[in-house]
Chain A
Amino acid sequence: MKYDYYDLIIVGTGFSSTFFLKKYLEKNKGVKRILVLERGQLFPHSERLKIKRGELADSSAAGNSWETQIINKTPEKRWPFTTAFGGSSNCWWGCTPRFMPSDFKMKTLFGVENDWPVSYEELDPYYEEAEELMAISGPEGTPFPRKVNYPLPPHHFSPIDKILHQKYGNQYISQPTARASRGTKGRNQCMANSSCDVCPVDAKFTIENSGIDVYQNAQVELLYGAQVYRLETAGNVAKKVCYVKDGKDFEIAGEVIVLGANPMFNSNILLNSGDQNPLTGKGFGEQLGMQVLIYLDNLKNTGGSTWVNANGYMLYDGSHRKDYAACLIETNNAPYNIRLERGKWLNMTSFRMIFEDLPLSTNYITTTSDKLVPEINFKGGRSDYALRGMENMKKVLPGILSCLPVEKLKFLDPFPNEGHILGGTRMGKTAADSVVDKNMVHHQYRNVFVLGSGSFTTFSASNPTLTLSAMSLYSADHSF
């Protein structure tokens, strides 16, 4: 380590840390000492690909599975994540719809939970910037307002998408995505392989292939294998970051500290630090997802050019959100969903229905006797709000699909995970209703930022990555 004191210490190298650091460096040119502590190692895409191909690979940087890094008190509910350079960008599927403006005003519009302390309009320029950095492919018209076109053109519709778009207009669109519709910025064109966790052709945006290059900046020192577990505080100020590396304890002093780990580890670090905010670690969860198989008469679902070919908003917004959850429809292009009936092999599509859920206080993160390992409690399970949304969907979906020659619908059981870990350090106006403020600065420790989807006030039905990336840009821009 070059110094014993840093101007900025960042924990994690995923989306939230990287986008925050990008903006921070733009505003602090060549004068700062910055330390980044990454829990995992650099496990390159090229080595991940070799493993998928069954080839000899250097897996020394692969790290431990997520199951070994937490204590999961409800094993039937899974919480997969990746710890390595680039965080979840290594395993995400690249879906980047914005949140709807209403997602930020759940209390005002629907009387549900709380409003975010930041509005859609305030985030809009940072959404734009994040979309540019990720070279998002997307359509001209969207259900959420945008001022400019997406950097890349949209993916191709299938015949089914065309029919639904014709009927529902901007409520049914080509999905905005970080799976490139054509080669761009060191990434190839998506080939619709539908195996996006490790993209076979490197078409998906990751921190590794992003070209953002903040970790090569001369001001930045990156330390791998550093597992942060606590902040040393004095009064309302965090003084040092405590971490374990190679089995030994270390601490390093810093002026500003940024927690950009995933929500489980961010909460664990704060709780180990003696954070007394009653909401820290509380209201943890994720969206609820389930699959619907749609069997079609004499209509093939061919020609799509990516994994999630389209998003449907027909069940998203409206006064129903006073009573039950919004639902975002993802139209999947999955090769493993085919029919075995003669002449009908490709006469089907499948929708993933994603429901917002609520940050229940009965779902929470606590510390354990192992300072590195948080305990995850999901005994509160799913809210009635989300479950009512799912039941309503089952009733109304046949009507929504009446423009298609539907033979039958098959509703599969909800998935054990949606891959979107949310909550635990929610954002709000005061310490009475939240852990962090609108810039994601901790209400008590004013030199500590707590980034990422853990800060979401409410969960939305939309995929979180674009929003948490935009929030990082917003936070750094307004704080330095």
Chain B
Amino acid sequence: MKRRTFIAMAGIGTGLLILPPALYIASPALRKHAAMLIREELYYLKLDNAGVEQYVNDYFSSSSNNVITNLRWKAFYYLGIKAEQSNQIFELIKFYLLSTDFFIHKMDESKLVSYLGLYSPYKSPVPNPYSFVLYPAD
């Protein structure tokens, strides 16, 4: 068993037993782990760190924020669960990329990835990354 997985299983198991669930709600620890997951998954990109943290704050402030969800986020990080294994991590990281200038810069890995505000077709400046807005017809 990998060390991190072992620690995670022990730690999370204990936490589940002794901590009141309310302590996990919107906890700073949860947000820290979510930000760590983003950085780990997108290790090859230059991420604006303050932007990652702001995104995580915005993401959890706007999405459902229940006890189980929060516990899962902690477990995801400590158990080393990757985006392809978890829809929730996938959603977190996907919406992070959609909320940045990454697609506006045509996925140029050499450029700093900056957070522009939570992705919304009604509010954010980020267009559909597939669309003719970024890839006009010849």
Contacts and interface: CB of A to CB of B under 8 A. Distances in A.
B122 A195 contact: yes
Interface string A183-215: 000000001111100101000000000000000
A256 B122 CA distance: 43
A340 B121 contact: no
Given A49-B122, A52-B122, A192-B127, A156 B132 contact: yes
Interface string B125-137: 0011111111111
A120 B133 CA distance: 37
B111 interface: no
Nearest to B131: A192
A303 interface: yes
B83 interface: yes
B129 A346 contact: yes
A191 B125 CA distance: 12
A88 interface: no
Contacts of A340: 41, 83-84, 90, 93-94, 97
A191 B122 contact: no
A301 B129 CA distance: 10
B29 interface: no
A338 B119 CA distance: 14
A428 to B, nearest CB: 43
A191 B124 CA distance: 13
Contacts of A193: 121, 127-128
A2 interface: no
A422 B98 CA distance: 36
Interface string A298-333: 000111110000000000000000000000000001
A300 to B, nearest CB: 8
Given A303-B135, A303-B137, A338-B97, A53 B128 contact: no
Interface residues of B, number: 27
A302 B41 contact: no
Interface in A333-383: 333-336, 338, 340, 342-343, 345-346
B137 A191 contact: no
B133 to A, nearest CB: 6
B123 A53 contact: yes
A53 B130 CA distance: 22
A336 B121 CA distance: 11
19 contacts: A49-B122, A52-B122, A53-B120, A191-B133, A192-B127, A193-B121, A194-B128, A198-B122, A302-B130, A302-B131, A305-B137, A335-B121, A335-B130, A336-B98, A338-B98, A340-B41, A340-B97, A343-B107, A345-B129
Given A53-B120, A53-B122, A191-B133, 15 more contacts: A52-B120, A52-B122, A193-B121, A193-B127, A193-B128, A194-B121, A200-B122, A303-B136, A333-B128, A334-B130, A335-B128, A338-B94, A338-B98, A338-B129, A342-B44
Interface of A: 49, 52-54, 156, 158, 191-195, 198, 200, 301-305, 333-336, 338, 340, 342-343, 345-346
